[in-house]
Structure 1
């Protein structure tokens, strides 16, 4: 798909088969999707309907997995049960220096799994009954199995996640990543690698012109599930920007399929 084949438009409302929940889209930012009308596909479990979002090497599915009441109950249980990393496990390496992660974080998964990113290796704590319950529902709805979940807790809009791609060698290549959101709605922004700083400048020098693919912004609702399918993470960076007006707590669970052969021992770095 070429640049000119992409158009900016708004995503239509999503209907939840079991609730009156509706999708809220950030009116201040356009959604970059394919020129054809977005498709709607029913989830395998018939719990929600997917909104399919396509762009240049961008393949996303978004739907409401839980009702507002169900999502609130899960958030309450998570707030009571989850214990987050501290010390070295709560830091990442930036420009050769260890800094605090601007949010709380913990990982759970199958035995011996770990996840290495930004200069730190995070071990998977054992699955709990609550997380197993959520994982199984995500798998049933998405049609994919997962053996690892990275959980981020944002106390309010001051906590954020910078631009990055989930393309580490630890991950099973080509397997989707499923992102479940609970709590405060936040906008989630995708930016194509050719439209970012240094990469764009190199293209300018090499080709004599830049590529200006517009960012894609989706407002992630309480109880929503976003499926990032291949090859999205090979070409698109994503981030959760700081939003000081967002006052509530947000939990995000990204379910992944890790390759045990590539997982490093805890305490090592890239």
Structure 2
């Protein structure tokens, strides 16, 4: 798979809707397969370590999205809000978690308990574990109704995460831009100049965020108001009980 290494020094740069310059990861011209031997595209940079593939065919992904829309139920009330800078805000998307008994996920002032696994989620988890060789006991699901729903910059560094474990990000529905920004190149007091990396996550795709990506890189899903379709994202994780 070495031929799929992405050299992040490439100078192919564009701007997103907010005017931020972005670096396009280099990819080869080979279409990734969707059979048992998946082709992973390796995305590498300054402590950036990700692998990307198409996990399901268009037809399979369409069926899964339909099944998710019919069966998944999302959090409401206090579990649908976050505490940021001393104020409570509604989460700009729908959210729910499933996993092994007793697991929770704490972020931005809320603790999200895991609901029991469903046959649908177990089926997807088994597929991801089979192609990656990784075990997962928890999944956080975000539903974006359209391009207005979004997720701000953050790192997945919660105490419940097993140290150095990968996070498997599975996407269904509307393709969306996923932006990585190096921790030392953010804001007015940036210490280094490292261009952000943008990946368009496709319907039926899997992005593996491997160690040490979440130590050094923030990621986000910025608003794209021109987009009108639903996106569902599942991040499978290995968690511990605190």
Deviation at 1:14, TM superposition (A): 4.6
Are 2:105 and 1:95 aligned?
no
CA contact (8 A) 2:58 2:204 kept: yes
Q: Choose which of 145, 162, 166 in structure 2 pairs with 1:172.
A: 162
Secondary structure at 1:13 match in 2? coil
CA contact (8 A) 1:189 1:240 kept: yes
Q: Choose which of 78, 102, 111 in structure 2 pairs with 1:112.
A: 102
Secondary structure at 1:7 match in 2? coil
Aligned to 1:64: 54
CA spacing shift, 1:140–1:199, aligned 2, 3 Å? farther
Are 2:229 and 1:239 aligned?
no
Unaligned residue ranges in structure 2 (runs of 5+)? 1-7, 13-25
CA spacing shift, 1:71–1:14, aligned 2, 3 Å? farther
Matches of residues 1-270 of structure 1 in structure 2 within 5 Å? 6-9=9-12, 10-18=26-34, 46-197=36-187, 200=190, 210-260=191-241
Query: Whole-Å Cα distance in 1 between the matches of residues 36 and 195 of structure 2?
Result: 33
Query: Whole-Å Cα distance in 2 between the matches of residues 120 and 255 of structure 1?
Result: 19
Higher radius of gyration, 1 or 2:
1
CA spacing shift, 1:124–1:13, aligned 2, 3 Å? farther
CA contact (8 A) 2:52 2:207 kept: yes
CA contact (8 A) 1:58 1:236 kept: yes
Deviation at 1:167, TM superposition (A): 0.8
Query: Whole-Å Cα distance in 1 between the matches of residues 183 and 32 of structure 2?
Result: 33
Secondary structure at 1:253 match in 2? strand
CA spacing shift, 1:259–1:13, aligned 2, 3 Å? farther
TM-score normalised by L of structure 2: 0.88
Query: Whole-Å Cα distance in 2 between the matches of residues 48 and 78 of structure 1?
Result: 24
Secondary structure at 1:12 match in 2? coil
CA contact (8 A) 2:32 2:40 kept: no
Query: Whole-Å Cα distance in 1 between the matches of residues 198 and 32 of structure 2?
Result: 21
136-145 vs 103-112, which moves further? 136-145
Deviation at 1:221, TM superposition (A): 0.3
CA spacing shift, 1:108–1:235, aligned 2, 3 Å? same
CA contact (8 A) 1:16 1:47 kept: no
Secondary structure at 1:49 match in 2? coil
Unaligned residue ranges in structure 1 (runs of 5+)? 19-44, 201-209, 261-270
CA contact (8 A) 1:193 1:199 kept: no
Deviation at 1:47, TM superposition (A): 4.1
Cα deviation, 1:140-182, whole Å, max 9, x if unaligned, reads 1111000000000000000000000001111001000000000
Deviation at 1:232, TM superposition (A): 0.2
Cα deviation, 1:38-77, whole Å, max 9, x if unaligned, reads xxxxxxx734210001101100000000000000000000
